[in-house]
Structure 1
């Protein structure tokens, strides 16, 4: 059993949520504002009692990404370079890169 809690709406054992729940939607993001993992940006909007804050670029080496298949944490920098988990090789949803502006500073929305 892992000790990391992933918050959100309908989050399952692979960190999929009510908003994103395909086989490849297995990435949870730790939010900079609260240092808590959520299934997605919408989950944070629904469940957190504060506004989201994006990760500053100078902190992208922090472990803030969680693979919902093997529960390995890795850095934002690593996440941006891969299309699958570096630990278990489970594929990630490549369209998640479209959401970088929601989580990380330095991207246009």
Structure 2
């Protein structure tokens, strides 16, 4: 594991992949606003999370909310939304398809 951050979920591997999303580029975890815990995806949060999903409000986009599973770097929401699916610290590729679900995490 390249990081010491606890990531909750189902079948989470050392780079934060889970049972639901496990391709080579599925290597981020999202800190949920409601419980301030990291999960690989909304499905993991739904299955084993707090039961009260809430999205990060725009005024808190400066908070560290996304974890690179490759190097452990924590991105702010603003950094993540502008990173073009690449970790700004280690250049690991993130799944660009995650942008289809951003409304589940961020306002």
TM range (shorter): over 0.9
Q: Summarize deviations over 1:24-71 as a string: whole Å, max 9, x none.
A: 000100000000000100000000132210000100110010000001
Counterpart of 1:23?
Answer: 24
Describe the SS at the equivalent of 1:6.
Answer: coil
Q: What is the TM-score normalised by the length of structure 2?
A: 0.94
Q: Which consecutive unaligned segments of at least 5 residues does structure 1 have?
A: none
How much is the aligned-residue C-alpha RMSD, in angstroms? 1.0
Q: What is the TM-score normalised by the length of structure 1?
A: 0.93
Counterpart of 1:74?
Answer: 75
Counterpart of 1:11?
Answer: 12
User: 1:1-109 counterparts in 2 under 5 A?
Assistant: 2-82=3-83, 83-105=85-107
Matched pairs, number: 105
Q: Which consecutive unaligned segments of at least 5 residues does structure 2 have?
A: none
- Where does structure 1 differ by over 3 angstroms across 4 or more consecutive aligned residues? none
